[in-house]
Amino acid sequence: MAGTVLVTGGSGYIGGEIIRQLLAKGWTVHTTVRNLDSEARVRPLLGGSAETLKFFAANLTDDAGWAEAAAGCTHVCHVASPLPAEPPRHENDLIVPARDGALRALKAAKAAGAQRFVMTSSVAAIGYGHGKAKSRFTEDDWTDVDGPGVQAYAKSKTIAEGSARDWVATEGDGMEFATVNPALVLGPLASADFSTSIEAMKQLMTGALPGCPNFGFGIVDVRDVADLHVRVLEAPGMKDERFICSGPFLWMIDIARILKAELGPEARKVPLRRLPDFVVRIAALFNPVVRQVIGELGSRRDMDASHARDVLGWEPRPVRDTIVDTARSLIDLGIVKV
How many Cα neighbours within 13 Å face the side chain of 71?
8
- The two beta strands, 136-137 and 176-182, are unpaired
Contact between residue 107 and residue 172 where contact means Cβ atoms under 8 Å apart: no
Distance from C-alpha of 254 to C-alpha of 272, rounded to nearest angstrom: 9
Contact between residue 60 and residue 98 where contact means Cβ atoms under 8 Å apart: yes
How many Cα neighbours within 13 Å face the side chain of 241?
25
**SS3 state at 38:** helix
Compute CA distances 116 → 73, 106, 175, 279, whole Å: 10, 10, 6, 48
From the candidates 54, 110, 155, 157, which is the catalytic residue? 157
Q: What is the largest CA-CA distance in the chain?
A: 58
157 has catalytic annotation: yes
Q: Which alpha helices (H) appear in 235-298, and where do they start and end? A: 252-263, 277-283, 288-292
How many Cα neighbours within 13 Å face the side chain of 329?
21
In the beta sheet, which residues pair with residue 212?
274
Residues labelled as active-site residues = 157
